[in-house]
Amino acid sequence: MTLDALPPRRRARITAVDWAALAPEEATRLQALGIDAGAEVEVAHRGIFIGKDPIALSIGRMTVALRRLHARAMQVEELGDAVR
Q: What is the CATH number of the domain that holds 46?
A: 2.30.30.90
DSSP string, 16-30: EE-GGGS-HHHHHHH
Which pLDDT does position 84 carry in this prediction? 47
Q: Is the pLDDT of residue 60 over 60?
A: yes
Query: What is the model's pTM?
Result: 0.86
The residue range of the domain holding 30 is 3-80
Segment 8-47, tens digit of pLDDT: 899 999 999 999 999 999 999 999 999 999 999 999 998 8
29: phi then psi, degrees, rounded to nearest 5: -65, -45
pLDDT class of 81 with cuts at 50, 70, 90: low
Task: Give the whole-angstrom CA distance, residue 14 versus residue 41.
Answer: 7
Domains contained in the chain, number: 1
Segment 64-79, tens digit of pLDDT: 999 999 999 999 999 9
